[in-house]
Amino acid sequence: MTAKTMNENQPKAAITVSRMCSLMKMSRSQFYWHVKRGTFHAPLRLSNGRPYFNASQVEDNLKAREMGIGVNGEYVLFYERSETPPKPKQTPASKADHTELLDSLQALGLTGLTTKQVGEAVESCYPKGTGSEDENDILRTVFRHLKRSGIG
């Protein structure tokens, strides 16, 4: 058995409020709201005023969270957050085809542009995508961006 494994299984004599909140999987404000209602033990104070929890308080608070019965004996329901998977990033293959926009920009007098430059300009002007934007607004915005950048 390694030293790390032994320390994980043994509760510490005292822990901070931050560590307690981490163990409880809740924010400090939510934790203190429950402390005020009597669901959890209030922290003790060191001589310098710093709050802490001793091992028995930690055990009682964790048991209250797990069982749904506060240290005051009242029933309590906790909201469990579901972990939402992160949205997939847009891959280069799924990016919009900007050839039509390139043709329109060239018709407005911007010559020597590549689809890559147009794509970068669109990405810069519309980081969340152009889904609900009007084509004329996209053309105007990208044209101005390219002119200000000195491209074309």
Domain shared by 59 and 100, yes or no? no
CA dist 67 and 90 (Å) reads: 43
Report how far apart the first and last C-alpha atoms of the chain are (Å, whole number).
67
Is the predicted pLDDT of residue 89 greater than 80, yes or no? no
Domain count, the chain: 2
* Domain membership flag for residue 4: no
More confident position, 83 or 13 = 13
Residue with tokens 């969340």: 128
Whole-number pLDDT of residue 148: 87
Whole-number pLDDT of residue 94: 42
Domain shared by 99 and 137, yes or no? yes
Query: Considering the chain, what is the average pLDDT of its residues?
Result: 83
* Domain membership flag for residue 98: yes
Residues 113/116/119/120 CA torsion (nearest 10 deg)? -100
Domain shared by 141 and 99, yes or no? yes
Whole-number pLDDT of residue 11: 65
Q: Which two tokens stand for residue 95?
A: 């990016």
Model's pTM, two decimal places?
Answer: 0.49
* Domain membership flag for residue 144: yes
Q: For the chain, give percent helix, strand, coil, nearest 5.
A: 50, 5, 45
Q: Which two tokens stand for residue 140?
A: 């105007």
Whole-number pLDDT of residue 49: 94
Highest averaged pLDDT of the listed ranges 15-24, 100-109, 130-139, 142-151:
15-24
Looking at the chain, how many residues does it have?
A: 152
Whole-number pLDDT of residue 152: 65
Q: What's the pLDDT tens digit per position in 53-73?
A: 999 999 999 999 999 999 999
* Domain membership flag for residue 49: yes
User: Domain limits at 129?
Assistant: 92-149
Is the predicted pLDDT of residue 37 greater than 90, yes or no? yes
- Among positive and negative, which fits the CA dihedral 32, 37, 40, 42? positive
Domain shared by 54 and 17, yes or no? yes
Q: What is the CATH number of the domain that holds 51?
A: 1.10.1660.10
Q: What's the pLDDT tens digit per position in 125-135?
A: 888 887 778 88
* Domain membership flag for residue 38: yes
What is the percent of the chain where pLDDT is above 70?
A: 82
